[in-house]
């Protein structure tokens, strides 16, 4: 009797499990996409269990040599798809509906006889299955191109992929199946547009004939590229224009036009749904401003976003962590907190010199990053809106000696980090993002044309240098404007450094010394601009005022940095006065390759007047007493040094 009850219990349990499995809503396998820039294959899977649908193993078969893996509880939407590779060990990738009861989609990868199939890796990132082939076959790991200033010359690393639509899948009406009835005609048209966006399934050949079912498309750089992003929506949201779509978004450099004033951003390799093209979106509902936006298919494979506004310089693009959407918005209306669903920290930085003109930097993070890329003639700025902290000493150590030594990182007012770097106007910039959103790769190709400042310096090399102006000092208040420096509890480093610097200048002037400040108000000044300013002013010494910070809250005290040996004596004298006048820890003098003290010809030091990250010292740093003590000590150190070296 007990055995019978046990059998019935197991049977009922199995039956319930089978019933639940059959009734479960199947996932939808949307598309098979090949990313030319990173040489990866993406399979988009949507559904409640998409994250669990991707396999971790595959089956190896021979004659022909191939592997296959199955995507369980899934229905292929649209058409069977196939990618054929040339000049590659991988021959083709096919995806099709293997069975409907149960629902299984099968992916088959064929390759050359001598190819090691263990190099093929399968990854599931939030339901997106990534087929990765170890170098050197496809290469470049997990990076997708998200910003490209020269999209017409994207390299393909010798690999040509031909995207083919094999045949339309005939499926019955049911859970997850494509319904071809009149009620679904609209959805079918959208799917056709998506197919065209990714596979471009309708092209004219040289004879003028049109192929609808099987088309082979050469993706070499000499011909038109297929699109990698399909825009299916754009509308007003959160104060700006939200663009959403499917695939991989890539943006080009913004530019402005006049009569009327407009700001424009192009999205190469992008296809716009016909139904939403050229529709005007009001960006100021209920307001007096007249800002409006349109989006259109500017070229065969390029979308163009145009915002008509009296303030085009204020608009910035904000890209989602998965590169699927973009918010184009007036920066003054941007609510930083609305962009933060998860907080990330800078994990590590890696620099690499590709050749004499090409330089690479990778920043990795603990979580996917929401970012904005702003490029003008002289600077590259990248806003990392949900990044909370970074290890400044570690980054400085990594950047020093590299092309990226001028890059600075500073905290934004509420949450986020801004990176800024001086560049030449003709440099070409490419930025890529890892498919998990946790890394950004910067590649800068230097131009042959140097900026005017560097040209001027080259021309003046042989001219005799003027002696410095006696008793003249340049005081450099750290950060300023959009560069807040370190921030804690709403207290900004840039405000403290300006106040202290003005106090130092006041004391020195009262003693008869000449003083020039690199900034006299809350203005952004670049690092090279500070050095150029110092060269024009021609002082005897240069002193930069800063406030220190650390990830940990325990460090406190004062330190003075120098780089060139001629500056060491100045650093020692100022540090001695600081620790004599202020009751805090003496952290000594440190040889550091900060940009402003490395690129200044006269004796130059950078003073860290205390830690804003330490609660007790932060409370002191904002008082008039501590500011005046620091200013007095720095001024007295400067005076002692100048008198000593008369």
Per the domain annotation, does 302 fall within a domain?
yes
Q: Is the pLDDT of residue 510 over 50?
A: yes
On whether both 159 and 198 belong to a single domain, the answer is: yes
Per the domain annotation, does 457 fall within a domain?
no
Q: What are phi and psi of 23, to 5 degrees?
A: -80, -15
Position 87 scores a pLDDT of 57
Q: What's the rounded Cα separation, in Å, for the pair 92 and 389?
A: 44
* Mean of pLDDT values over 413-421: 81
On whether both 639 and 564 belong to a single domain, the answer is: yes
Q: Please tell me the number of Cα atoms within 13 Å of 311 on its side-chain side.
A: 12
Q: What are phi and psi of 21, to 5 degrees?
A: -65, -40
Q: Is the pLDDT of residue 144 over 90?
A: no
From the list 114, 140, 102, 148, the residue with the least C-alpha distance to 373 is 148
Domain boundary among 410, 445, 480: 445
Q: Tokens for 346, please give them.
A: 């800078």
- Looking at per-residue confidence, does 186 or 284 come out higher? 284
On whether both 328 and 346 belong to a single domain, the answer is: no
Q: Is the pLDDT of residue 509 over 60?
A: yes
Q: What are phi and psi of 374, to 5 degrees?
A: -120, 125
N residues, the chain: 646
Pairing of strands 586-591, 558-562: parallel
Per-residue burial over 354-379, b = 16 or more CB atoms within 10 Å of its CB, e = otherwise: eeeeebbbbbbbebbbbbbbbbeeeb
Position 604 scores a pLDDT of 95
Position 309 scores a pLDDT of 92
On whether both 255 and 186 belong to a single domain, the answer is: no
* Mean of pLDDT values over 130-157: 58
Q: What's the rounded Cα separation, in Å, for the pair 271 and 299?
A: 9
Q: Is the pLDDT of residue 321 over 90?
A: no
The CATH number for 582's domain is 3.40.630.40
Q: Is the pLDDT of residue 496 over 70?
A: yes
Per the domain annotation, does 212 fall within a domain?
no
- Whether cis (ω within 30° of 0) applies to the bond prior to 403 is no
Domain boundary among 277, 305, 334: 334
Query: 486-490 — which CB contacts under 8 Å span 24+ positions?
Result: 486/410, 486/411, 486/547, 486/548, 486/549, 486/612, 486/613, 487/411, 487/412, 487/413, 487/612, 488/549, 488/612, 488/613, 488/618, 489/618, 490/413
- Whole-prediction pTM: 0.52
On whether both 616 and 639 belong to a single domain, the answer is: yes
Position 125 scores a pLDDT of 67
Average pLDDT over the chain, rounded to whole? 77
Position 176 scores a pLDDT of 28
The CATH number for 285's domain is 2.60.40
| CB neighbour list of residue 529: distance below 8 Å, 6 or more residues apart | 518
Q: What's the rounded Cα separation, in Å, for the pair 157 and 87?
A: 10
**Which range of residues forms the domain containing residue 579?**
465-644
Domain boundary among 304, 334, 364: 334
Structural domain count of the chain: 4
Residue pLDDT, tens place only, 379-392:
898 999 888 888 87
On whether both 301 and 357 belong to a single domain, the answer is: no
* Mean of pLDDT values over 306-334: 88
pLDDT band at 320 (very low <50, low <70, confident <90, very high): confident
Span of 454-468, 473-487, 595-609 with lowest mean pLDDT = 454-468
Position 78 scores a pLDDT of 65
Position 75 scores a pLDDT of 85
pLDDT band at 9 (very low <50, low <70, confident <90, very high): low
Per the domain annotation, does 14 fall within a domain?
no
Span of 6-20, 239-253, 473-487, 491-505 with lowest mean pLDDT = 6-20
On whether both 355 and 287 belong to a single domain, the answer is: no
DSSP label of 329: E
On whether both 373 and 428 belong to a single domain, the answer is: yes
On whether both 85 and 163 belong to a single domain, the answer is: yes
Residue pLDDT, tens place only, 170-218:
222 222 223 333 333 444 444 454 444 444 333 333 333 332 222 223 3
The CATH number for 348's domain is 2.60.40.3470
On whether both 67 and 171 belong to a single domain, the answer is: yes
pLDDT band at 537 (very low <50, low <70, confident <90, very high): very high
* Mean of pLDDT values over 513-535: 90
Q: Is the pLDDT of residue 617 over 90?
A: yes
Q: Is the pLDDT of residue 639 over 90?
A: yes
Per the domain annotation, does 215 fall within a domain?
no
From the list 219, 229, 270, 197, the residue with the least C-alpha distance to 85 is 219
Residue pLDDT, tens place only, 93-115:
888 888 888 888 888 888 877 77
From the list 530, 524, 525, 587, the residue with the least C-alpha distance to 555 is 587
Position 21 scores a pLDDT of 44
On whether both 86 and 189 belong to a single domain, the answer is: yes
C-beta separation of 419 from 408 below 8 A: yes
As a whole-number percent, the residues of the chain with pLDDT over 70 amount to 74
On whether both 102 and 42 belong to a single domain, the answer is: yes
Per the domain annotation, does 346 fall within a domain?
yes
As a whole-number percent, the residues of the chain with pLDDT over 90 amount to 28
Per the domain annotation, does 19 fall within a domain?
no
Position 48 scores a pLDDT of 67
pLDDT band at 127 (very low <50, low <70, confident <90, very high): low
- Looking at per-residue confidence, does 365 or 248 come out higher? 365
* Mean of pLDDT values over 54-78: 79
Cα-based distances in Å from 411 to 109, 346, 361? 46, 12, 20
Q: Which of 152-166, 426-440, 539-553, 567-581 has the highest mean pLDDT?
A: 567-581
* Mean of pLDDT values over 138-148: 65
Span of 140-144, 335-339, 343-347, 478-482 with lowest mean pLDDT = 140-144
| Number of helices and strands in the chain (H, E) | 10, 40
Per the domain annotation, does 218 fall within a domain?
no
Q: Is the pLDDT of residue 420 over 90?
A: no
Q: Tokens for 63, please give them.
A: 């004659």
* Mean of pLDDT values over 61-66: 81
* Mean of pLDDT values over 411-418: 77
């Amino acid at each position: 009797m007990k055995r019978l009850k046990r059998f019935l219990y197991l049977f009922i349990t199995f039956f319930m499990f089978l019933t639940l499995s059959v009734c479960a809503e199947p996932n939808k396998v949307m598309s098979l996409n090949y990313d030319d820039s990173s040489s990866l294959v993406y399979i988009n899977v949507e559904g409640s269990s998409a994250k669990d649908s991707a396999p971790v193993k595959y089956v190896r078969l021979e004659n022909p040599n191939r592997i296959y893996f199955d995507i369980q509880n899934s229905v292929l939407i649209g058409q069977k798809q196939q990618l054929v590779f040339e000049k590659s060990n991988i021959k083709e990738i096919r995806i099709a509906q293997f069975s409907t009861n149960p629902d299984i989609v099968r992916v088959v990868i064929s390759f050359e006889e001598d190819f090691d199939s263990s190099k093929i890796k399968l990854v599931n990132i939030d339901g997106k299955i990534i087929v990765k082939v170890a170098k050197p076959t496809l290469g470049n790991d997990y990076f997708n191109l998200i910003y490209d200033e020269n999209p017409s010359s994207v390299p393909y690393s010798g690999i040509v992929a031909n995207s083919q639509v094999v045949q339309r899948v005939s499926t019955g009406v049911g859970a997850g199946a494509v319904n071809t009835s009149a009620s679904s005609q609209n959805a079918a048209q959208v799917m056709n547009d998506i197919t065209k966006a990714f596979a471009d399934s309708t092209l004219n050949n040289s004879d003028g004939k049109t192929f609808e079912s099987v088309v082979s498309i050469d993706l070499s750089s000499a011909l038109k590229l297929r699109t990698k992003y399909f825009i299916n929506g754009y509308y007003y949201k959160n104060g700006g224009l939200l663009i959403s779509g499917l695939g991989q978004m890539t943006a080009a450099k913004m530019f402005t036009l006049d009569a009327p004033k407009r700001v424009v951003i192009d999205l190469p390799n992008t296809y716009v749904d016909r139904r939403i093209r050229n529709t005007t979106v009001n960006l100021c509902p209920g307001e007096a401003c007249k800002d409006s936006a349109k989006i259109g298919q500017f070229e065969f494979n390029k979308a163009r976003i145009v915002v008509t506004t009296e303030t085009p310089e204020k608009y910035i693009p904000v890209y989602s962590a998965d590169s699927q959407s973009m918010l184009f918005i007036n920066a003054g209306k941007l609510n930083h907190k609305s962009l933060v669903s998860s907080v990330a920290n800078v994990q590590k930085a890696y620099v690499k010199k590709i050749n004499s003109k090409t330089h690479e930097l990778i920043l990795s993070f603990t979580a996917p990053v929401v970012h904005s890329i702003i490029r003008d003639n002289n600077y590259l700025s990248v806003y990392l809106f949900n990044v909370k902290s970074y290890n400044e000493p570690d980054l400085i150590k990594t950047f020093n000696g590299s092309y990226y030594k001028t890059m600075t990182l500073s905290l934004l007012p509420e949450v986020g980090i801004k990176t800024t770097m001086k560049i030449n106007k003709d440099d070409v910039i490419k930025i890529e993002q890892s498919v998990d959103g946790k890394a950004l790769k910067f590649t800068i190709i230097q131009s042959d044309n140097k900026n005017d400042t560097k040209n001027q310096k080259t021309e003046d090399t042989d001219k005799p240098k003027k002696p410095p102006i006696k008793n003249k000092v340049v005081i450099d208040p750290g950060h300023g404007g959009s560069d807040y420096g370190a921030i804690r509890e709403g207290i900004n480093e840039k405000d403290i450094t300006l106040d202290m610097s003005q106090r130092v200048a006041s004391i020195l002037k009262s003693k008869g010394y000449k003083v020039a400040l690199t900034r006299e108000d809350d203005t952004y000044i670049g690092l090279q601009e500070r050095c150029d300013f110092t060269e024009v002013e021609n002082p005897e010494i240069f002193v930069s005022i800063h406030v220190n910070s650390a990830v940990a809250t325990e460090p406190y005290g004062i330190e003075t940095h120098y780089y060139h040996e001629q500056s060491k004596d100045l650093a020692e004298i100022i540090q001695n006065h600081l620790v004599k006048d202020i009751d805090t820890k003496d952290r000594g003098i440190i040889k550091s390759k900060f940009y402003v003290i490395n690129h200044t010809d006269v004796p130059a030091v950078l003073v860290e007047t205390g830690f804003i990250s330490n609660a007790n010292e932060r409370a002191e740093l904002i008082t008039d007493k501590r500011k005046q003590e620091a200013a007095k000590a720095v001024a007295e150190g400067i005076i002692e040094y100048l008198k000593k070296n008369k």
